Amino acid sequence: MTNTVTNKFDSITYLAGGTVRQQEAYRLLTKYRFVEFLSGFSPLLAGTIPLNIDIASSDLDIICYYKSEDDFRACLTQHFSAFADFTLQGLLINQEQAILASFTTDGWPIEIFGQNIPVKQQMAYRHMIVEHHLLQQNGELFRKQIVDLKNQGYKTEPAFAKALGLIGDPYLSLLDLEM
């Protein structure tokens, strides 16, 4: 993977010139200062919106790296607890502790996910980079196939696995394609 691909996702600025939904996401993220409030936790937007494979029900997934779980929880509570449907929970993902804040604003579901793992080593980021590469490699018809599968109810990684004919756990199978 080249640095230019990886660097594209280091900032949300690319969204400003993207699809209509990407531009809406950019406006929302800047309006509510998400990146600014989360700046101490290396926030990155992951998931379907950056890749232009989102569907109507897609959320904004912001991944973060925390060193102190308490500081991360405090930040989430301070800046986002006033949003509709706010929840904050601890999770165990691949034997690693994680924190997830969920809420909605301006019609968008938002998830802010944090782990004591640098963001570029987290599964969500690694999947996104592999998926980005696959989308670049396989073109527009492949992208539409992924969106169609997502509209049929497939989650993102299982949609890619089905489209590619991958066998086994789709989340692990995609990581086998990392470069």
The SS3 assignment for 145 reads helix
Provide the pLDDT for residue 94: 82
Mean pLDDT, to the nearest integer, of 43-71? 97
pLDDT at 125: 95
- Evaluate if residue 92 carries a pLDDT over 60: yes
Identify the pLDDT of residue 8: 86
Question: What pLDDT band is residue 179 in, cutting at 50, 70 and 90?
Answer: confident
Q: For residues 140 and 62, is the Cβ–Cβ distance under 8 A? A: no
Is the pLDDT assigned to residue 5 strictly greater than 60?
A: no
Q: Please check the confidence at residue 19 and state whether its pLDDT lies above 70.
A: yes
Question: What is the pLDDT averaged over residues 50-70?
Answer: 96
Spell out the domains of the chain, with CATH numbers in brackets: 3-175 (3.30.460.10)
Q: Where are the alpha helices (DSSP H) in 60-179?
A: 69-80, 123-151, 156-164, 170-175
Per-residue pLDDT, 81: 98
Query: For the CA atoms of 149, 151, 154, 155, what is the dihedral angle to 10 degrees?
Result: 110
Pick the residue with more confidence: 8 or 130? 130
Whether pTM exceeds 0.95 = no
